[in-house]
Amino acid sequence: MDKNNTYASRKTGKKVTRNDVAKAAGVSSATVSFVINKPEKVKKETYDRVMQAIRELEYHPNFVAKSMATNQTMQLGIVLEDISNPFSAGLVTGFENAANDKGYFVNVCTTSGRVHDYFESFLERQLDGIFVTALPYKFETDRLYSLVENGVRVIASGNINVDHKRVAAIENDYIDAMDQAISYLHSLGHRSIAYVSGLSSTFAYDLRYAGYIKALKKYGMEFDPRLYVDGKTPYRTGMNEGYRGVESLLGSGARFTAVICTNDLMAIGAIRALEEKGMHVPDDVSVMGFDGIELGKYTLPSLTSMGFDQFEFGKQAFEMLHASMTNNVVGYSCNPLKLIERDSASKCNCS
């Protein structure tokens, strides 16, 4: 490639065309179009050569014209439940990286705004697809079907009860994960295991609660309502909620030797509350969370958790959404979680 010609064209201020890119890369204009519009149909060597020419010539495709020709905007949306949770960072990064590789631009939205307003905006902007991770009480499920009927493909997550023939879904298997957590604590001798939820037992989307009840029975333990702390609307799951949840537990007067929290942030807050009350983790009380976020490695003590790879989860969510957009394949995936053994859980010092 003649870089001198490349820089000369920049200095003149002449608009770079698709033909300029084709000439610089030694390919046809049609091949450049395929690289931009359908990269999966182009050999990697050719793709890399064309992309190099695009970067060096600073060519910017006209996506407005492209969307009119292809009926695609190459834009996606992702609606997050809690952007402050490190869990979200891995999920968004995985989703966005995979989307960018296919030429999509990702609009990131949080539920600090009204979710229904986002949905309306997605329709107005004619996004090709969206990934919804907001808790289902924040919107009407029928709105997802309306998006699909108007050409916006959807993948949902967060134990949203949707028609899997119309809306793709990717979930974590929290019932099995809670079974693993209870089994692990039971093997360490714990028989009084509390669950501090940032959600609510009255909503079907807290499958951790359903798994908790089921696992207690499976391992021969009675459910004690004093050892369950229900979340309160607007159902936040941060460190403050974990801290306050443990305060509520301690205020109940019930004896417990282990605490499981809805997620790792709540577990970190729970540890702080216990330590402030003079109880040491894990010597006096074992604590577990969910998600397996990177931060858990560096807390004192390091956090035992039921974890999964958030980056891969986000990547898989995009791949499923892409299959829905391009091949009309509406799929469902249930993601397993694995026990991450660290220092916040140990054998019960039962008296």
Burial of 133-158, coded b for 16+ CB within 10 Å and e otherwise, reads bbbbebbeeeebeebbeeebbbbbbb
Residue in this structure with the two tokens 């798994």, named with its chain if needed: 211
Spell out the per-residue pLDDT of the chain, length 351, in tens: 444 334 334 444 568 888 888 999 999 888 887 887 777 778 888 989 988 988 888 887 655 455 545 557 899 999 998 888 899 999 999 999 999 999 899 999 987 668 888 899 898 889 999 999 988 888 888 999 999 999 999 999 988 889 999 999 999 999 999 999 999 999 999 999 999 999 988 766 689 999 999 999 999 999 999 999 999 888 889 999 999 999 999 999 999 999 999 999 999 999 999 999 999 999 999 999 999 999 999 999 999 999 999 999 999 999 999 999 999 999 999 999 999 999 999 999 886
What span, in angstroms and rounded, lies between the C-alpha atoms of 201 and 231? 8
DSSP character for 137? G
Helix or strand holding residue 117 (H, E): helix 115-124
Residue in this structure with the two tokens 């898989």, named with its chain if needed: 316
